[in-house]
A and B are shown apart, each in its own frame.
Chain A
Amino acid sequence: MPKKVLIVDDEADMRDFAQAALEDDGYQFVFAADGVEAVERAAAEKPDLIVMDVQMPKKDGFAALYDIRRDPALRAIPVILLTGIAEKTGVRFDAGTVKEYMGEQPEAYFDKPVDPDVLREAARKLLAK
């Protein structure tokens, strides 16, 4: 059975890009367009990996990550965060500072623009566990 990847981005372009970057590894894809939908889809689809944008309407990626980690049924799903935020309050974001900021840590964290090979490698690593 193919692994299932939930791609969350408010922009269709970015969803297409993430799918194109990962599709050669034979995953099954499901999509969400904001943080609220992301949590709903994660609960309904039980994906093996979530690739999620940070800046989204309704609920941003940080808050969605927080909700996913608070849900015992979802907390084990690895999450890759993608963002264009350079800095906030003088702190350069990486996985560690996201943890400090949100109390939760994504498995991987990439600054946009992200290279498709980097994204593919990170997904492979997380899904091989």
Chain B
Amino acid sequence: MATLSWNSPEGPKQHDLGDLTRIGRLPDNELSLLDGATSGLHARILRQGDAWVVEDNGSRNGTFVNNDRVSRRPLRDGDRVLVGRTEFLFRTAQPPAAEGGQTLMWRRGQPAPAEGRPSTVARALPIEELLRSDTRGATITPVSTLAVARAAVARPDANAAQLARRLKATYEISQATAETLDTAELLDRVLAALVGLFETADRAFILLSDPQSGEVTTAAERCRVAGQAAEGGISKTALDQAMRSGDAVLCQDAAADDRFAEAASIIGLGIRSLMVAPLVFRDQGLGAVYVDTMRGIRAFAEADLELLCVAANQVAAVLANARLHDKVVASERLAAVGQTLAGLTHCIKNILQGIKGGAFILDKGLGLDDLDRVRKGWEMVRRNNGFMEELVYDLLTYSKQRPPEYALADLNALCAETCAYIEERAKAAGVPLNLVPDPELGPVQVDPKGIRRCLLNFVGNAVDACAGRPGAAVTVEVQGKAHDGFARILVRDTGCGMAPETIAKLFTVFFSTKGSKGTGLGLPVSQKIIEEHGGRIDVASEVGKGTTFTICLPVRRHETAIA
């Protein structure tokens, strides 16, 4: 009989090991963990006669036994197995029944054990290790957490109930920092843990200073009596002192404390005891955590301040991380907007030049009574107007999330239409254009307008790639019969081909090799349309030999087949 025990968000858990226990994120594992750091099938534990072996399944983050990364290792009683963020305790026999004592396991929503014996200190170790496993991967400094957890464990005068409370709070704060991405929620959870921990506390606040203005505002508040927090203020003197010096402040008897002799808040609000821990990350002051009480002097001990500092350190690290993240996101967004605007401006300027140039030639033709010029100028205006329409269509297609407007359509006919549309342009460029339809392929459900747009892009590009290359040609081939449920349209050219660097950038918005002729939107838009169909685009190209674009579209015959 062997078991794995661990602490899950729902509380302590135990699993009896069978001959094979698979551990991983996927639900079909015997032990399924909801943890992003765990692979789908992460590890397995096998029984081999009387022995037990753990095997890593080539997981991304590895499997650890007693802190060693292992691929396969026999397990012994008491081994700790770390999978993702979960640490398991491996036991070959049931742990002896607790002799009336408590292991310091706690369950959410249940009061911590009320009384304990000195021996429970030894049993606290698994929890300490659980704490470590739960802080793994979070942006906090687990060392300080552990240090204080250890200090709490080692403190001779601390009784077990206090210990349990402290460990619980430390654990909760670690959990909050590891699990919560939203800053406001994180701060609220931390305060909830602190108010739960410091039974004598009336109010708790987290105050943050604005990185630009330095102005300090309340980011989160909690109080024991509803509405109390909002009333009055906090001790600004203590807060200033902590934030200025970077040291934590503990005031056992506020009214008698010389440091706050002149502080109106202490007297006016009736604050008796208070603690302030600054939020500091790498010498950068971010704010402070503040706890006070109106109920009595000596409400907080130094150990309480220590714990408050640990919480503050964790919060500071997470906040610094969040601020950095916001900065990066903002600058990336700005860069993307800038790039988009530059690309757009370029397209629009070229089109404007075409319209302006056309109008100028048209004007001149009118003045000279030269009908050929009038026609030429008018053609330019009209063509560029068409470009503008295309640009707007592409931009809308690219920027909008829209499902394809499915209708039954014949891919052969769509290809034929496209070839007919481009034929004139191909002839002018001296490029032969061939169509190889697949008569066996019946009508399928696609968005005809979108597919037409894609085909125009691909066939147009293919003609451009062949222009000026004697012997180069374009072939559009439909392949309806495939065993993978996809129909294919191959647009093949024996033109100039593309270098790997160009292929890598093909689907980047506003990337174009066509000088002023390309908008750099054609391929990204085509890709989006095909992907909205649940299809994909394959590219094969060789410089000097040519390029083949393969559009793969799932064959859907009926509307009901569209999920």
Chain B residues numbered 347-379 whose CB sits less than 8 Å from any CB in chain A: 347, 349-350, 352-358, 360-361, 364, 373, 376
- A86 contacts which of B349, B361, B373, B516 (Cβ < 8 Å)? B349
Write the chain A residue with the least CB distance to B379.
A13
**Given the contacts A10-B515, A57-B513, A16 and B361 also touching, CB distance less than 8 Å:** yes
Q: Could you tell me if A113 and B349 are in contact, using CB atoms closer than 8 angstroms?
A: yes
Residues of A contacting B376 with CB < 8 Å?
16
Q: Is B517 positioned at the interface, with any CB of A under 8 Å from its CB? A: yes
The count of chain A contact residues (Cβ–Cβ below 8 Å) is 27
Chain A residue at smallest Cβ distance from B361: A20
Provide the A1-33 mask, 1 if CB < 8 A to any CB of B, else 0: 000000001110110110011000000000000
* Best-surrounded residue of B361, B383, B513 (most CB of chain A within 10 A): B361
Q: Mark B510-529, 1 if CB is under 8 A from A, else 0.
A: 00011111000000000000
Determine chain B's interface SS by DSSP, over half rule: helix
A96 contacts which chain B residues (CB < 8 A)? none
Cβ of B342 under 8 Å from chain A: yes
A102 contacts the other chain (CB 8 A): no
- Evaluate whether A13 and B349 lie within 8 angstroms (CB atoms) in the complex, with A20-B364, A56-B515, A57-B513 already known: no
**CB-based nearest B residue for A115:** B356
Asked whether A53 is an interface residue with its Cβ less than 8 Å from the other chain, the reply is yes
Instruction: Give CA–CA (A84, B515) in the complex, Å.
Output: 10
Q: Which residues of B contact A116 (CB under 8 A)?
A: 357, 360
For B348, give the chain A residue with the smallest CB separation.
Answer: A84
Number of A-B residue pairs with CB-CB distance less than 8 Å in the complex they form: 82
Q: In angstroms, how far is the closest chain A Cβ from the Cβ of B428?
A: 10
Is A86 touching B342 in the complex (CB atoms < 8 A)? yes
Q: Is the CB of B361 within 8 A of A14?
A: no
Distance in angstroms between the alpha carbons of A49 and B417 in the assembled complex: 45
A86 CB to closest chain B CB, in angstroms?
4
Known contacts A13-B380, A13-B383, A17-B361; decide if A112 and B350 are in contact (CB<8 Å): yes
**Which residues of A lie under 8 Å from residue B514 when comparing CB positions?**
10, 57
Q: Counting CB contacts under 8 A, is B345 at the interface?
A: yes
CB distance from B512 to the nearest CB of A (A): 8
Contact of A113 among B347, B352, B517 (CB under 8 A): B352
A86-B346 contact given A10-B517, A17-B353, CB 8 Å threshold: yes
Number of B interface residues in the complex (CB < 8 A): 28
Instruction: From known contacts A13-B380, A21-B360, infer whether A111 and B516 are also in contact, taking CB-CB under 8 Å.
Output: no
B residues less than 8 Å from A57 (CB atoms): 513-515
Query: Across the interface, which residues of A come within 8 angstroms of B350, CB to CB?
Result: 84, 112
Asked whether any CB of chain B lies closer than 8 Å to the CB of A114, the reply is yes
A33 shortest CB reach to chain B, Å: 9
Q: How far is the CB of A88 from chain B (nearest CB, A)?
A: 8
**Is A127 on the interface with B (CB-CB < 8 A)?**
no
CA distance A90 to B335 in the complex (A): 10
Nearest-CB distance from B453 to chain A (Å)? Answer: 22
Residues of chain B contacted by A17 (CB below 8 angstroms): 353, 356-358, 360-361, 380
Q: Are B346 and A84 in contact (CB under 8 A)?
A: yes
Residues in A with CB closer than 8 Å to B360 are 17, 20-21, 116
B364 touches A84 (CB 8 A): no
B:138-191 near A, CB below 8 Å:
none
Residues in B neighbouring A10, C-beta threshold 8 A: 514-517
Which of chain B's residues have a CB closer than 8 A to the CB of A60?
A: 515
- Interface positions, chain B 367-422, Cβ under 8 Å from A, are 373, 376, 380, 383-384
**Across-interface contacts of A85 in B (CB, < 8 A):** 342, 346
Contacting residues, chain A, for B516 (C-beta < 8 A) = 9-11, 14, 53, 55-56, 84
Given A10-B517, A13-B383, A55-B516: A84 and B353 interface contact (C-beta under 8 Å): yes
Distance (whole angstroms) from the CB of B339 to the closest CB of chain A: 10
Shortest beta-carbon distance, B357 to chain A, in Å? 3
Shortest Cβ distance from residue A115 to the other chain B in the assembled complex, whole angstroms:
8
The residue in A14, A56, A57, A88 that gathers the most chain B C-beta atoms within 10 A of its C-beta is A57
Contact in complex: B515, A114 (CB < 8 Å) = no
B-chain residues with CB within 8 Å of residue A113 when the two chains form the complex = 349, 352-353, 355-357
A112 B517 Cβ-Cβ under 8 A: no
Which residues from A are CB-within-8-Å of B515? Answer: 10-11, 34, 53, 55-57, 60
Distance from B383 Cβ to chain A, minimum over Cβ atoms (Å): 7
Contact yes or no, A16 B342, CB < 8 A: no
Query: What CA separation (Å) do A78 and B380 show in the bound complex?
Result: 29
Contacts of B513 in A (CB 8 A): 57
Chain A residues with CB under 8 Å of B338's CB are 87, 90
**A86 near B517: Cβ-Cβ < 8 Å:** no
Q: How far is the CB of A120 from chain B (nearest CB, A)?
A: 11
Which residues of B269-319 have CB atoms within 8 Å of chain A's CB atoms?
A: none
Complex CA gap A46/B181 in Å reads 67
A13, B352: Cβ atoms closer than 8 Å = no
- Report the separation of the CA atoms of residues A31 and B513 in the bound assembly, to the nearest whole angstrom: 21
Chain B contacts for A56, CB-based, 8 A: 515-516
Once the chains are docked, how many angstroms separate the CA of A14 from the CA of B422?
Answer: 22
- The complex places the Cα of A20 from the Cα of B364 at a distance, in Å, of 8
Identify the closest chain B residue to A57 (Cβ).
B515
Complex Cα–Cα for A67 and B302 (A) = 76
- Contact assessment for A16 and B357 in the assembled complex, using a CB-CB cutoff below 8 Å: yes
Contact mask for chain B residues 74-88; partner A; CB cutoff 8 A; 1 contact, 0 none: 000000000000000
Residues of A participating in the B interface, judged by any CB pair closer than 8 Å: 9-11, 13-14, 16-17, 20-21, 34, 53, 55-57, 60, 84-88, 90, 111-116
19 pairs from A and B in contact (CB 8 Å cutoff): A10-B514, A10-B516, A11-B515, A11-B517, A16-B357, A17-B357, A17-B361, A20-B360, A34-B515, A53-B515, A57-B515, A84-B346, A86-B342, A86-B346, A87-B338, A87-B345, A88-B342, A112-B353, A116-B360
A55-B515, A84-B347 given; name 8 further pairs at CB < 8 Å: A9-B516, A10-B514, A10-B515, A14-B516, A86-B345, A87-B342, A112-B353, A113-B355
The 5 closest A-B pairs by CB, nearest first: A17-B357, A84-B349, A86-B345, A113-B353, A112-B353
